[in-house]
Amino acid sequence: MSLPNTVDHLDDLSLEELQAALEDVEGSKPTQRLLAAIAYKNGVTQTELADWYGVQRRTIYSWLTRLDTDDPLADAVTDAPRPGRKRKLSEAELEAFRETVRDPPTDAGIDEPAWTPALARQYLADTYDVEYSIPSCRRLLKEAGLQYRPSSGPDADERISSADARPRRDGRWTPE
């Protein structure tokens, strides 16, 4: 697909309007888009802009065509909100989980000596009826302030220093 070499509608916008819009925007992407439009108005080609910003030429074209609107420029260069995936736990549930795992599992009525990602996964499923992966449970334990500590033993130092060290089942997640 061949893209036009010029964007005629930028002829209707002045440099002053583009520069004034810079004062009204927040965020790096809208700022980047306005700066690209200003550079384009000053004679920089779309190909050069694509090289400057490390994007494809069609991306620059899209940035510039967004300005062909009756909306304020600050709105034209800003992306619409994108809702992320709904959280599995509410903030209150997440905080309650964090408080729970800071104490030994026995305080939660679980007959285990220490928290593990698998144990956290089971606890979350039983308590909140949500499913988390083991890597997500590791992340939740870290976010709760727990740290993985390998068991002491003849090969513990070797496990800690190896480049691909992964938590093993013989370690413990404990508060930092």
Give the H or E element holding residue 22. helix 15-24
Would you say 58 and 49 are in contact if contact means Cβ atoms under 8 Å apart? no
Residue 130: count other Cβ atoms within 10 Å of its Cβ: 14
What string of DSSP letters covers 109-172?
A: T---SSB-HHHHHHHHHHHH-----HHHHHHHHHHTTEEEEPPPSTTHHHHHHSTT----TTSE
Output the pLDDT for position 160.
44
Output the pLDDT for position 72.
86
**pTM beyond 0.75:** no
pLDDT tens series, the chain, 176 aa: 545 555 566 888 889 999 999 988 888 999 999 999 999 999 999 999 999 999 999 999 999 999 888 888 888 898 888 787 777 898 999 999 999 999 999 999 999 999 999 999 999 999 999 999 999 999 999 999 999 888 765 554 444 444 444 444 557 788 87
Map out the domains of the chain as residue ranges: 8-76, 91-175
Pairing state between β 146-149 and 172-175: antiparallel
Structure tokens given for 81: 């909100």
Would you say 61 and 46 are in contact if contact means Cβ atoms under 8 Å apart? yes
Would you say 132 and 138 are in contact if contact means Cβ atoms under 8 Å apart? no
Could you report the per-residue pLDDT of 58-99, keeping only the tens digit for each?
Answer: 999 999 999 888 888 888 898 888 787 777 898 999 999 999
